[in-house]
Amino acid sequence: MCMEDIPHDLYHAAETALRDCMALKQDEVLLVITDAEKELIGQALWYAGRELSREPVLMMMNPRKENGENLPPLIEEAMKKSDVVIIPTAKSATHTDARINACAAGARVGTMPGITQDTMERCFSVDYKKIAERTIKLNDIMTDANDVHITTPAGTDIKFSIKGIKGIASTGIVSEPGKFGNLPSGESYLMPVEGDAEGVFIVDGSMAGLGLIEDDEKLTIKVEKGFATDITGGEAAKKLIKLLEPHGKPARNIAEFGVGTNDGARVIGEILEDEKVMGTVHLALGNNKSMGGTVGVQLHLDGIMMNPSFTLDGKEIMKDGKFLIDLD
């Protein structure tokens, strides 16, 4: 593939991602990690990196089978020796030991699981400074809270503690050594206290590994003592159970609570963008190790809830998908 094969708008988005979001500098080493499914985007980032850094490196690997599956050891070592790592791949590398170890070594890492050309071109034209400010404000509020209660028109009704848990502001700007985030971004998230969540949540937007959820396939996930104990919802439920089964009980851990803050994103069936949509919230199953937890299973699956309402310590933060607090 040569430079002429890269669409102009995609190349411009790649420049924005590297320059504005990753703060790539001319004297830094850039590592782009991609797979056959996202090669065009990987190539666009590498070509853009040739103009923005002294040493852009492109590494290709086989697509991972599942979100959270670890990366090849050779790539993991290269990540630790790079200043900036950006990862457009079919499956998520966000919650992998490779990403955690690269950040511990001082690399700045941007993960782009499931990124599409359309998302790339559209979502890097938004005001990331504004998204960052909104995300940080919300994150501070979440970090100071103790208890969460989520409800939705579809039937979600779940409570859990976040007492003592530090939120993570995924602003889309990854400019400090050791930091990481999704690109495109815009969410505040944290792990619920392990073993605490009780209730039920209905995934009616999209589910990582499954894509968009149809109205007659809504996933009903019953939660007891922090684990999903029962999953129903037609063929979608069967597929989700199949994804979880090889990993045992840890895969059913309620791993994450996240709130989207990106007003330019929309639910399209790709979790990278879907979980950032302002007016949605999500819960994830599986790995919470990257958020400070103890569950290191190589699986992390987010489920999007539409038109949610949620409270923090009894205070209404969102009602039917609309923030009730001033974040702008």
Whether 17 maps to a domain, the answer reads: yes
| 74 and 109 co-located in one domain | yes
| 183 and 304 co-located in one domain | yes
pLDDT-derived band at 22, boundaries 50, 70, 90: very high
Q: Check residue 4 and give its pLDDT.
A: 81
Please state, for a pLDDT cut of 90, what percent of the chain lies above it.
91
Give me the CATH number covering residue 101: 3.40.1830.10
| Region 165-174 average pLDDT | 94
Where a domain ends, among 89, 123, 157? 123
For the chain, how many structural domains are there in total?
2
Residues 3-21: tens digit of each pLDDT: 788 999 999 999 999 999 9
| Region 72-89 average pLDDT | 98
Q: Is the pLDDT of residue 95 over 90?
A: no
Q: Is the pLDDT of residue 115 over 90?
A: yes
pTM more than 0.85: no
Q: Check residue 142 and give its pLDDT.
A: 98
Q: Is the pLDDT of residue 231 over 80?
A: yes
Whether 273 maps to a domain, the answer reads: yes
| 116 and 140 co-located in one domain | no
| Region 162-178 average pLDDT | 95
Q: Check residue 128 and give its pLDDT.
A: 85
Where a domain ends, among 70, 99, 123? 123
Q: Check residue 89 and give its pLDDT.
A: 97
| 119 and 132 co-located in one domain | no
Whether 307 maps to a domain, the answer reads: yes
Beta strand extents in the chain (DSSP E only): 29-35, 55-61, 84-89, 108-113, 147-151, 157-161, 168-170, 180-182, 187-190, 198-203, 206-207, 211-212, 219-224, 227-232, 254-260, 280-286, 300-306, 309-312, 315-319, 322-323
Whether 262 maps to a domain, the answer reads: yes
| 89 and 213 co-located in one domain | no
Query: SS3 for 300?
Result: strand
Q: Is the pLDDT of residue 86 over 80?
A: yes
| Region 238-244 average pLDDT | 97
| 210 and 284 co-located in one domain | yes
User: Which domain does 95 fall in, by range?
Assistant: 3-123
| 104 and 226 co-located in one domain | no
Q: Check residue 153 and give its pLDDT.
A: 98
Query: SS3 for 274?
Result: helix
84-89 and 108-113: which strand pairing? parallel
| 132 and 270 co-located in one domain | yes
| 143 and 11 co-located in one domain | no
Q: Check residue 84 and give its pLDDT.
A: 98
Whether 233 maps to a domain, the answer reads: yes
pLDDT-derived band at 67, boundaries 50, 70, 90: confident
Where a domain ends, among 123, 147, 177? 123
At 206, list the tokens.
Answer: 């999209």
Q: Check residue 34 and give its pLDDT.
A: 98
Task: Give me the chain's average pLDDT, please.
Answer: 95
pLDDT-derived band at 124, boundaries 50, 70, 90: confident
| 65 and 155 co-located in one domain | no
| 43 and 110 co-located in one domain | yes
Whether 328 maps to a domain, the answer reads: no
Q: Check residue 5 and give its pLDDT.
A: 86
Whether 83 maps to a domain, the answer reads: yes
Q: Check residue 3 and give its pLDDT.
A: 77
How many whole angstroms separate alpha carbon 52 and alpha carbon 178? Answer: 20
| 116 and 83 co-located in one domain | yes
Whether 48 maps to a domain, the answer reads: yes
